[in-house]
Structures are given as C-alpha cells and as structure tokens.
Amino acid sequence: MQTAAGPALGVDFGTTNTVVALGQANGLPELVPFAAPTEDSPVFRSALCFWHDDVPGGLASDAGPWAIAEYLEFPQDSRFLQSFKSVAASAAFEQASVFDKRFRFEDLGRLFLDRLVAHAGGRLDTRPARIVVGRPVEYAGSRPDEALARTRYDAMFKGFGVDIHYVYEPLGAAYSYATRLTEPATILVADFGGGTSDFSVVRVAEPGAAQRCTPLGHAGIGIAGDRFDYRLVDRLVLPMLGKGGSYRSFDKELEIPRGYFADFADWSRLALMRNRRTLEELDRLRRTATDPAAIARMIAVIENELGYPLYDAVGRLKRALSTDESAHFHFAGAGLEIEADVTRAQFEDWITDDIARIEATVDRALSAANVGQGGIDRVFLTGGSSLIPRVRRIFTDRFGEAAIMSGGELTSIAHGLALIGEQDDIAAWSA
C-alpha cells in the first residue's frame, strides 16, 4: 500500500542502539525521547532482559535502559540479550533459548518494539501510516542471507505501521546531512554501527531543488564496533579462559574447539551460551583440559551472566583509546580478574585487517557510484565507531581533514529516515 507524502516515522534499529524520529507538520522531524531510569535520551539501547515473574506465561521482559537496570539489579536471575540484530541474516540462528522458552528473531524484534513504544510516553501510541526503517547495505555475519533478513524484518515490523519502507542506513544519514548544505555537493556517507560499516555516495542538489538527493552507489561490510570489541576480548580476556589451550581425548592431546571462544567474544551469542547443553560440554572439557581452571572461569562468567559488565568494560576501554594514547582495562567477576594497560598503537595493530577490509569496501562504494576519490566534495562520518581515530584516518588520509564532517553520530540516521519518508518518491529510496 502506498500512502501520500506527509509526516513519517524514521526508525534506526541498530545493533547497539535504536533511535526514532517522528515527522512533524512543519517538515522538521523530532527525535523521540525516552524517560530512561537515569536520564532522558533519544538513544534506546537495543537490548532485552527476561526474568521470572508473576505475569501471564511466567516470564517478564523489558528493553532498552530498563533492560539494563533490571539486569544490574538481579543479574543471576535474569537473561540479558544484546546485539541481536546481528543474527537477522544468519541461517544458523533459528531460536534463542531463554529459560524454558524459545524466541525466533522476529519474536525478539516484536517484543523489543512493544517495549520501545511503551517507554515513549505515549508519543508512539499513534504512529504515522508511513514507517521508514533503516537497514544495512550488507548485513552482519560471515555469510549473510539478505532474503532471510528481509523476511525476518517484515515479520518484526508487521503491524507496526501501514506502509513500511526499508532504506539503506547511510542514505538516512545523507539526507539528514543535506539539510546543512547550501550548495550542490557529492558526498560520501560512512556509517559505522555496531554490526556493519556502510557507505553511500549521494549527489546533493541546491536547496529547493525538486529532488534534493540522488543516490549514486553503495557498499557495506559486516565489520564495525562489535568486531573491534571482539579483537579486544580476544587479546585481553580469552587467553585467561583457555583459548589456545588443549584437552585430552583418549591418548591424544587436542586444541580446545575455537567455536566456544568465537561465541564468547560475540555479544549477540555470549548470552545464548547459558544453556544446559553448552554448559555440559564446557564442563566435560574442563575435566580433561590441561588448564581446567581456565575453562572453569569461562563457565563462571557464563553462569553468572557477566556478559554486560564485560561489554561495558571493553566499551570503556575502546572509548578511552579514542581520546587518549593509552588506557587501563579492568574486569572482575566470578573469580576472574584482568588488569591490563593498552596503548592506542596496540589496538590499531589488532584491528589492522579489519581496517583494510573497510578501506576496500569504501573503494567498492566509489566504484559502484562511478566516482573517483577526487569527485567527493564532502565526507560525512556517523555512527559510534566513526569516533575511533584509526577509522577516521581512513578518510582524512584520502580526502583531507577539511572535507570531513560529523555530528549526530547516534541520531542522524533516524532524522534522515523521517525526512525521506516525507518524499513523494519514497519508492526511489527503498532498498
């Protein structure tokens, strides 16, 4: 169903955070604030928490900052899930086991949206008919299935709006940034989220033009903030949990399967390791491991639901290294304590391969747009990981510091999606 242009709702459903912008009659969208437990904010954490309670079905839940607050109060009696957007395109993910219930991706998504609406103070109870949802240029995962992701998104947003459109996330950022420009320009938008890094080249016409923005080309890759976190966990935490160690099987000494460590260092999968089958497998490994204490520490972190404190410690280190040349890492819990001083140079060395693949993706975006490096007038950086100095240097080295623009790192996409939703030619933007 196609509706006439008018106020629309822009939804930036992100791996780490979700932001919603509501179109207004004057054509200037407003970010929807949430009266979170600690402070009002338009940034709603893309997380869920479950716990047993006296409610129908016996399982209560909440999302966003309220999920974090519930988890922090009762960590061992809850299940905390974050970054679940990362599995949208994964055929390997079928269901998440939470206590004795199983949830498909779309079940988690609908529950998340329900709680987001409930915490919006009534501002989302009645929504515009047209909803514009951001989607990555390329989904996260080693072999992302785009058709599967679309099916899951359709099921997640069914009933959320009458007229649902999907638009590449960097295009939302481009449209938002275009409102700042007073003259024509060809811009490269680089959107660094939690799960993906996406790039779009857009031609922006002069203010008042019939069509202000024209998409020229796109490219994306499933490497972003969560992958950088993975590198930190791999270097600082996993060696304390048995990575690289071995276990005995009959008369052979074998390496502990790496899959356990890959799951542990992935925020979307860590919480899901707290299930009977995985914990029984780890306990068998512990009994035959050459360093059983290391495997015992991994089991303790999983059983004690310490995924969020670990995520928080890694995030604080990463942010500190964005402003300082060195920073201290500290994590403690369940008998595990890690202290380490990390330099920015070390961190940049650990993410070297990731940066190279991101740079190659930028090249693909320019090639798809048939625009050379010299044809870019402005570069707009958005997303939390755009604040990492090594990420920013990809663009300053190529285009010069004067060409780089930023701002609204967490909110520009939602703002632009709502603006796109007000256009008559919405189909031209849909992906």
Calculate mean pLDDT across residues 14-20. Answer: 96
The reported pLDDT for the residue numbered 262 is: 96
Phi-psi region of 166 (alpha: psi -120 to 50; beta: other; left: phi over 0): beta
The mean pLDDT value for 113-126 works out to 95
Asked whether residue 384 is assigned to any structural domain, the reply reads: no
pLDDT the model gives residue 414 = 97
**25: pLDDT confidence band, cut at 50, 70 and 90?**
confident
pLDDT top residue among 3 and 301: 301
Residue pLDDT, tens place only, 151-186? 999 999 999 988 999 999 999 999 999 999 999 999
Residue 27 has pLDDT above 80, yes or no: no
pLDDT top residue among 38 and 352: 352
pLDDT higher than 80, residue 413: yes
Which pLDDT score, from 0 to 100, does residue 5 have?
58
pTM as predicted: 0.93
Q: How confident is the model at residue 2 (pLDDT cuts 50, 70, 90)?
A: very low
SS (H, E, C) the chain: CCCCCCCCEEEEECCCEEEEEECCCCCCCEECCEECCCCEECCEECEEEEEECCCCCCEEEEEHHHHHHHHHHCHHHEEEEECHHHHCCCCCCCCEEECCEEECHHHHHHHHHHHHHHCCCCCCCCCCCEEEEEECCCCCCCCCCHHHHHHHHHHHHECCECEEEEEEHHHHHHHHHHCCCCCCEEEEEEEECCCCEEEEEEEECCCCCCCCEEEEEEEEECCCHHHHHHHHHHHHCHHHHCCCCEEEECCEEEECCCHHHHHHCCHHHHHHHCCHHHHHHHHHHHHHECCHHHHHHHHHHHHCCCHHHHHHHHHHHHHHHHHCCEEEEEEEECCEEEEEEEEHHHHHHHCHHHHHHHHHHHHHHHHHHCCCHHHCCEEEEECHHHHCHHHHHHHHHHHCHHHEECCCCCCHHHHHHHHHHCCCCHHHHEC
In this structure, is residue 89 part of a structural domain? yes
pLDDT computed for residue 127 by the predictor: 93
Instruction: Report how many domains make up the chain.
Output: 1
Residue 374 has a pLDDT of 95
Residue 210 lies in a domain: no
* CATH number for the domain that contains residue 36: 3.30.420.40
Q: Model confidence over 46-65: pLDDT tens digits?
A: 999 999 988 777 899 999 99
Q: Is the pLDDT of residue 41 over 70?
A: yes
Give me the mean pLDDT over the 130-149 stretch: 95
Domain hosting residue 152, numbered range: 9-182+408-429
Provide the token pair at 411.
Answer: 């909110």
Mean pLDDT in residue range 240-263: 95
Report percent pLDDT > 90 for the chain.
85
Q: Is the pLDDT of residue 100 over 90?
A: no
- Is residue 95 situated within a structural domain? yes
Compute CA distances 85 → 130, 218, 226, 361, 399, whole Å. 22, 21, 12, 21, 32
Residue 176 lies in a domain: yes
Specify if 190 maps to a domain.
no
Q: Is the pLDDT of residue 323 over 60?
A: yes
Is 21 a domain residue? yes
Question: Is 109:103 a contact under the CB 8 Å cutoff?
Answer: no
Judge whether 33 lies within some domain: yes
Mean of the per-residue pLDDT values for the chain?
Answer: 94
How many other β-carbons are positioned within 10 Å of the β-carbon of residue 403? 17
2 or 389, greater pLDDT: 389
pLDDT at 76: 85
pLDDT band at 4 (very low <50, low <70, confident <90, very high): very low
Asked if the model's pLDDT at residue 340 lies above 90, the reply is yes
Average pLDDT rounded to a whole number, residues 380-400: 96
pLDDT band at 81 (very low <50, low <70, confident <90, very high): very high
Position 142 confidence tier, pLDDT thresholds 50, 70, 90: confident
How large is the average pLDDT for residues 74-101?
A: 93
